[in-house]
Amino acid sequence: MSKEPSPPALTARELTTTDWPHIKKLFGDKGACGGCWCMHWRIPRGGKMWETAKGAPNRKAFHRLVKTGKACGILAFDGDEPVGWCSFGLRSDFPRTETIKAYRRADIDGVWSINCFYLAKEHRARGLGSLMAEAAVKAIRKRGGGMIEAYPVTLTKDGKKLPAAFSFTGPEIVFQRLGFKEIQRLSPSRPLYRLKL
pLDDT beyond 90 at 138: yes
Note the pLDDT of residue 7.
Answer: 55
Note the pLDDT of residue 19.
Answer: 98
For the stretch 53-102, pLDDT in tens is 999 999 999 999 999 999 999 999 999 999 999 999 999 999 998 888 77
Note the pLDDT of residue 157.
Answer: 59
Note the pLDDT of residue 193.
Answer: 94
For the stretch 156-182, pLDDT in tens is 656 566 555 557 888 888 999 999 999
Query: What number of other Cβ atoms are within 10 A of residue 121's Cβ?
Result: 7
- Average pLDDT (128-146) is 95
Note the pLDDT of residue 155.
Answer: 62
Task: Domains for the chain: give ranges and CATH numbers.
Answer: 12-196 (3.40.630.30)
pLDDT beyond 90 at 106: no
Please give the model's pTM, rounded to 2 decimal places. 0.89
**Alpha-carbon distance 178 to 31, whole Å?**
29
116's torsion region: left (phi>0), alpha (psi -120 to 50) or beta? beta
Number of residues that this document lists for the chain: 197
For the stretch 2-56, pLDDT in tens is 555 545 689 999 999 999 999 999 999 888 888 999 999 999 888 899 899 999 9
Report yes or no: 176 and 184 within 8 Å, Cβ to Cβ. Answer: no
The per-residue DSSP string of 135-158 comes to HHHHHHHHTT--EEEE--B---TT
Question: Hey, is 58 helix, strand or coil?
Answer: helix
